[in-house]
A = this chain, B = another copy of it.
């Protein structure tokens, strides 16, 4: 269950706030927008119902059991950010078997990962939707070459996740008999965390992938509801859009939980690539977009709060609060005589982090800085599934609000062309 608290918006009684009336006025658009979203024929919310999705993942994982100490995902952007988020959110910092995600082509990073894995105990998961991403294929050839030189059977050390029919990686899987998984053509990379792209690595490191999908399906119910009271993704998008139009072109996502630090990185791609567009559906040049900013509580109170409270009032703050942190650790009262520490007496670390968030939120509100809070019960697979679909759904609605296509990315082509030309 995710609860959206947006009371503080109406507490700000000037142009920086948002009244309930303003939000409700947009409700009339819900039906039309839902229809438009269906017409775009995107698979991110239907694929999660496909029960066969987990069969292949579970059977592969059962077969892999005990064979590997290291899993290395080779992928970038939508092929890696969801996996990084799942690993960081739901596994121990030093869990085994160890998963590495190589999402850069920096040779130093590659070397350092190579230093700590043993090839014969490693499975490389090569993820590229198109099957042609140069960064991923370069890394693949590098590690494939190492395995070849060590006489290791590629069928035991590589698995591919790519388009079901097209691209170099699909062809290679067919030619060489390497086990492969599919990214459905109608699910964009940045919407693909709940396909095999995220589910396979998640299952291999022991996550409850069934729960991820259950959570996502629960949120899907809300996302497809034509009742604006129930449709949480629509309400979130409404707030984001109205405030963007009121001069808040930045959205700061601040979970108050260390484990969720990489959730904001996943969301950065989703929001930036989906909504940042030059032309609208009518072909007019509009250059719209919301700039996502990642932050973390309580840490960034000591880094960003000064700007957020006193700088230009140009941001919507989206906080994430975890009701049950899982551990109730009291702060020991080692210096009972010290008056300056009195306020920490009898306080747990959970209570401290929750209270610091409350202090931050109240301070922003008093300074007329619009903020909302998403509250979750605890960090687990079910919640993560809900959160992924909440933000994906809201992003789909944002596309309709801005009258743009949220599912393409034409603006990245130019740099790719220049790069290829410079290399040739």
Contact = CB atoms under 8 A, between A and B. Distances in A.
Nearest to A257: B106
B331 A138 contact: yes
Contact of A107 (B133, B168, B335, B349): B349
Contacts of A62: none
B414 A104 contact: no
Interface stretch (A44-52, A230-238, A322-330): A322-330
A30 to B, nearest CB: 26
Contacts of A293: 291, 293
A418 interface: yes
B298 A310 contact: no
Interface stretch (A118-126, A206-214, A356-364): A356-364
Nearest to A75: B302
A310 B423 contact: no
A273 B307 CA distance: 6
Interface in A85-140: 92-94, 103-113, 115-116, 132-135, 137-138
B250 A306 contact: no
Interface string A10-54: 000000000000000000000000000000000000000000000
Nearest to A314: B249
How many copies of this kind of chain does the complex include? Answer: 2
A160 to B, nearest CB: 14
Contacts of A412: 301-302, 305-306, 309
A299 to B, nearest CB: 5
A135 B298 contact: yes
Interface stretch (A65-73, A179-187, A338-346): A338-346
Interface stretch (A1-9, A141-149, A197-205, A382-390): A141-149
A289 B307 contact: yes
Contacts of A311: 272, 275-277, 287-289, 291
Size class of the A contact interface (CB-based, 8 Å):
35 or more
Contacts of A92: 112, 115
Given A116-B93, A305-B411, A145 B291 contact: no
Contacts of A422: 355, 358-359
A83 B183 CA distance: 40
Contact of A296 (B104, B327, B355, B414): B104
Given A106-B325, A135-B298, A329-B107, A268 B303 contact: yes
Interface string A264-294: 0100110011011110000000011101011
Contact of A132 (B302, B340, B359, B363): B340
Interface of A: 76-78, 81, 92-94, 103-113, 115-116, 132-135, 137-138, 141-142, 144-145, 148, 168, 172, 189, 249-250, 257-259, 265, 268-269, 272-273, 275-278, 287-289, 291, 293-294, 296, 298-299, 301-315, 325-329, 331-335, 338, 340-344, 347-353, 355-356, 358-360, 362-364, 366-367, 409-412, 414-420, 422-424
